[in-house]
Amino acid sequence: MIYNVTHPLRFTPHLRPMPWGGRTLARYLGKTLPANVPVGESWEVSDHPSHASFVANATDFGVTLRQLMTDNRRELLGPTADRFDRFPWLIKLLDARDWLSVQVHPGDDAVKTLLPGEQGKTEAWLVLSAEPTSRIYAGLLPGVGPKELRVALASGKAADCLHTFTPRAGDFVYLPAGTVHAIGGGVVVAEIQQTSDATFRLFDWNRLDSQGKPRALHVEQAFASVHWDAGPVQPTNVSGWDSPKRLLASSPYFDLDWIVAKRTLQLGGAGRLQALIVVEGRGRFDNGEYVLPGDVWILPAAMPTIGLQIDAPLSALLCTLPTST
């Protein structure tokens, strides 16, 4: 069946309760959360086997992203369609009220033997809000190798091996697969990543579950995934940037730009898949669809140029699928 992929697409959020989550997605982004449950993730766009997103537009309402990829892959992805069995991005909002584990994601080569059936997982974060107690750990400190990290893990001091900083709203963090990282203490981020749920836990802050047992770790798989020479990852803060478009990161999986618009914005028409992750502001597409903070819009490759009329100054991440690796 052929679906209409010539206009911006929005999908129904998939909320995931997590023990480290909170309630900030409801307060900050207007998400409707289940009562009395800590929600850690809102999967805004997903074609992962564990969840296929549903179209929320009136046109083709309820159609899954999996169906669109099956029947309209070329219109959706453009010239890169033959490279992807699944939609290339998993886009999330995260509320890390407590601490996520110290973890690492495998790259495209490592995942083939470590977790067959999954994809590599390069990702990027934009910090939407943070508290004074929030921390981000990103990358190993200089001089830390397998020996030093094993000693630290054995003594419960893995964090001593990691570069860390106090995040601020507007911090952009690019995390190539193989980067050891952790996040928590009251931070909300927008995340875009390869479509993968491949995560290996190195350290879980010595926590115990409700039965008094620690969560499973994946130390050997993690060590096989780490890029030992990558070094610390520093954030880039976009607060105050007022240029209409500025490149944040370029990779084989996504190009990310920070965009700012005060009156109108022209989107689409480039023949490539894009995603608009709205951070601030509001407006309305020429087809009448309203755009609000926290929205994630997929702009199919086959979509002609569309105007966005700005009602309140808008800032957003614009993600574009590269035409080559």
With 0.85 as the threshold, say if the pTM is over it: yes
Q: Which residues of 17-27 are buried (b: 16+ CB within 10 A; e: fewer)?
A: ebebbbebbee
What is the model's pLDDT at position 325? 57
Please tell me the distance from the alpha carbon of residue 325 to that of residue 317, in angstroms, as a whole number: 21
* Stretch(es) of the chain classified as CATH 2.60.120.10: 9-237, 245-320
Cα–Cα distance, 282 to 15 (Å, whole number): 23
- Which residue shows structure tokens 């996504």? 254
Quick count: other Cβ atoms within 10 Å of Cβ 227?
Answer: 16
Cα→Cα distances 182→137, 215, 292, Å: 5, 16, 29
pLDDT (tens place) for every residue of the chain, 325 residues total: 778 899 999 999 999 999 899 999 988 788 888 888 899 999 999 999 999 999 999 889 999 999 999 999 999 999 999 999 999 999 999 999 999 999 999 999 999 999 999 999 999 999 999 999 999 999 999 999 999 999 999 999 999 999 999 999 999 999 999 999 999 999 999 999 999 999 999 999 888 777 778 888 999 999 999 999 999 999 999 998 989 999 999 999 999 999 999 999 999 998 999 999 999 999 999 999 999 999 999 999 999 999 999 999 999 999 999 987 5
Nearest to 306 by CA among 273, 270, 277: 270
CATH number for domain 9-237, candidates 2.40.40.20, 3.30.530.20, 3.30.390.10, 2.60.120.10? 2.60.120.10
CATH superfamily for domain 245-320: Jelly Rolls (2.60.120.10)
Catalytic sites, residue numbers: 201
